Amino acid sequence: MKILSTLLLLFFTTSTFGFVFKKGDGSSFKMNTNGQSVELNIYVSSVATHNMNIEFHFGSGGLLASNMWQQFEFELKDRNPISIKAGYIKLAPNRDTEIMTEEMFKLNKGVQVENFLFNSEAQISQDYVGDEKVETPAGTIVAKHYKKTVKDQTVHYWIADRVKPIGLVKLVSKSEKIKSNNYTIELKNLLTSVKSKIDPSKAKAISKETRETFLKK
């Protein structure tokens, strides 16, 4: 999933606003990528003093319905950038949970995770565009607009306090050279009491088949 690096910014950016995270809380989004509509759910799997796990669920309907889950463990330290400690993937409900390798975190050729490793509101403010009204499936929301450009990829994203804990209202990624870097994400509704699909304690080493399948997405 080549959009992974950009999706991780949802957590990195909103964490700088001091949001309170609760297990099971999250957001549901409508995602359009390469002409395909995908449901994206992002929610908190677990919370500890210096660690937090966030799970992503990608689902598509129709005759070719598919589901994929990814979960990431983040290390949180007051004055240090947020870092990823581990990642897990489950390609289908009946598949094992597997441990992602570090190479799988950096698939984009444009925006990367490290471009959003902020640890202060001052750092994120350099990408601030302005406050705007944003139309989404969840309704009209006033949000802060930010813009980040790396190489050929430009990402516009809108963040609002009222849609805690994830904070994301809308995201638009554009690239003239890389087709997979063109997609939009729009808020549908907030989630509560979501049960995680991935249990890190049961994760196995990633298989060759899973690695090849993931890298093709």
Spatial distance between the Cα atoms of 53 and 15, rounded to a whole number of angstroms: 13
Amino acid 66: pLDDT: 83
pLDDT tens-digit profile of 58-106? Answer: 887 665 668 889 998 887 766 555 677 888 999 889 999 999 887 776 6
Q: Is the dihedral of CA 188, 91, 197, 103 positive or negative?
A: negative
- What's the CATH class of domain 4-216? mainly beta
Beta strand 66-75 with 183-191 is unpaired
The mean pLDDT of the chain is 80
DSSP secondary structure, 46-81, as one string: EE-SSEEEEEEEEEE-STT-EEEEEEEEEE--TTS-
Find tokens 């995602």 and name the residue. Answer: 31
pLDDT tens-digit profile of 135-145? Answer: 999 999 999 99
- Would you call the peptide bond into 200 cis, given omega within 30 degrees of 0 as the criterion? no
C-beta separation of 194 from 86 below 8 A:
no
pLDDT tens-digit profile of 146-204? Answer: 998 878 888 898 988 888 888 889 989 888 888 878 889 999 999 999 999 999 999 99
The more confidently predicted of residues 121 and 39 is 39
* Boundaries of every domain in the chain: 4-216
